[in-house]
A = this chain, B = another copy of it.
Amino acid sequence: MARPTIADIAERVGVSKGAVSFALNGRPGVAEATRARILQVAKEMNWRPHSAARALGGARADAVGLVIARPASTLGVEPFFAQLLSGLQAGLSRQSVAMHLMIVEDVEAETEVYRDWASAHRVDGFIIVDLKVRDPRIEVLEELGVPSVVLGGPGRHGSLSSVWADDREAMLSVADYLAALGHRRLAHVAGLPEFHHTQRRMRALRDSSRRLGLAETVSTTTDFSDAEGAAATRALLSRARRPTAIVYDSDVMALAGLGVAGEMGVRVPDELSIVAFDDSVLTRIAHPAITALSRDTFAYGRRLAEVMLALIEEPERRRDVKTATPRLVVRESTAPPGAWQGD
């Protein structure tokens, strides 16, 4: 048989479709003996649910949606994102929930996809990444009423649930550490300015520079690419009074920055300390290995999945989950500033 339906099972067992449905979904309405027979036959016939048919009836789609509005070509570059995705999937897999993924050009297209998938009941919930400063997606999702979890926060995600890590606190720990080493002039190569966490990190660094009595810390925003990371570094190191330490918003940029330092004859860590926000293989295999704010990105993704699944189960209860603050892992790229720095 091509594909057994519950009607086939019903016929074979000699009961009605409804009874089969009850039995297969573990709900009351059939005697245990009958249920056992139905399950037995279903197994024999190798029956499997037809999710489209279920979805039509308003039941679970067993999938969550992830829509990303980025130029697709830049996606593969970031280990962070890939790791996150892995963890997310790992978490979802446990309950056999699939991921419905789509990459689009811009936020308008993104919200369009939300409407589409929501109304077609293609997914049970959405995961929102790359939280923007004033994010138009929030209200669309609130209006659609589909369970949604925002990655990032705290705040700025309206009534939606969220999973986040304390970027600010992490950034403060970096500033404290560098100041303790004796650095007075820090610089920051940041990511996309429209991202919420970029703003948060810039502010954190500015605040702590002030608090610690350091020179004003300037942040240069980039598109997260190695090219712009390198360019920003080149500009910083060409200044008359160049920084003695640079904090990068991603590991790729930190690595690119390290390369630029080498190319310009600036020794790391003797003449320049480098810290990466976000850790991965890259920072570990670089030479010198790069001091980084590390977190278990895979676990972060898995946590995200858990919250998503829990929210689907119980949509009325909003969740706001703070995950572990990235902690500083000191490697070889940071040291007290050299004597020459005090020009």
Which of A10-18, A93-101, A167-175 is found at the contact surface with chain B? A93-101
> Judging by beta carbons under 8 Å apart, are A103 and B86 in contact?
yes
Given contacts A76-B298, A297-B76, contact A63 B103 (CB under 8 A): no
A50-58, A210-218, A311-319: which lies at the interface = A50-58
Stretch at the interface among A176-184, A234-242, A254-262, A334-342: A254-262
Whether, in the assembled complex, A3 has its beta carbon less than 8 Å from a beta carbon of chain B, the answer is: yes
Q: Check A76–B72 contact: CB distance below 8 A.
A: no
Contact A48 B116 (CB under 8 A): yes
The interface size bin for chain A is 35 or more
Which residues of A in the span 46-97 have a Cβ within 8 Å of any Cβ on B?
48-53, 55-56, 61, 63, 72-79, 81-87, 89-90, 92-93
Contact of A48 among B90, B120, B282 (CB under 8 A): B120
Query: Of B48, B61, B81, B86, which is within 8 A of A72 by CB?
Result: B86
Q: How far, in whole Å, are A49 and B3 apart by their CA atoms in the complex?
A: 25
Known contacts A103-B93, A121-B52; decide if A285 and B256 are in contact (CB<8 Å): yes
CB distance from A80 to the nearest CB of B (A): 8
Which residue of chain B lies nearest to A4 when distances are taken between CB atoms in the complex? B119
User: A101-B89, A282-B282 known; A120 and B52 CB under 8 Å?
Assistant: yes
Contacts known (A63-B100, A102-B99, A298-B76); A281 close to B86, Cβ less than 8 A:
no
Q: What residues of chain B lie closer than 8 Å to A3, measured between beta carbons?
A: 119
Interface check A43, CB cutoff 8 A: no
List residues of chain B with CB within 8 A of the CB of A119.
3, 48, 50
Q: Is the CB of B103 within 8 A of A90?
A: yes
CA distance A93 to B55 in the complex (A): 23
Q: Which residues of B contact A298 (CB under 8 A)?
A: 72-73, 76
The 3 closest A-B pairs by CB, nearest first: A76-B83, A76-B82, A52-B55
Beyond A52-B120, A72-B93, 18 additional pairs, beta carbon < 8 A: A50-B56, A50-B120, A52-B53, A72-B89, A72-B298, A75-B82, A75-B83, A76-B79, A76-B81, A76-B82, A76-B86, A77-B79, A77-B83, A89-B102, A90-B103, A98-B102, A252-B281, A255-B282
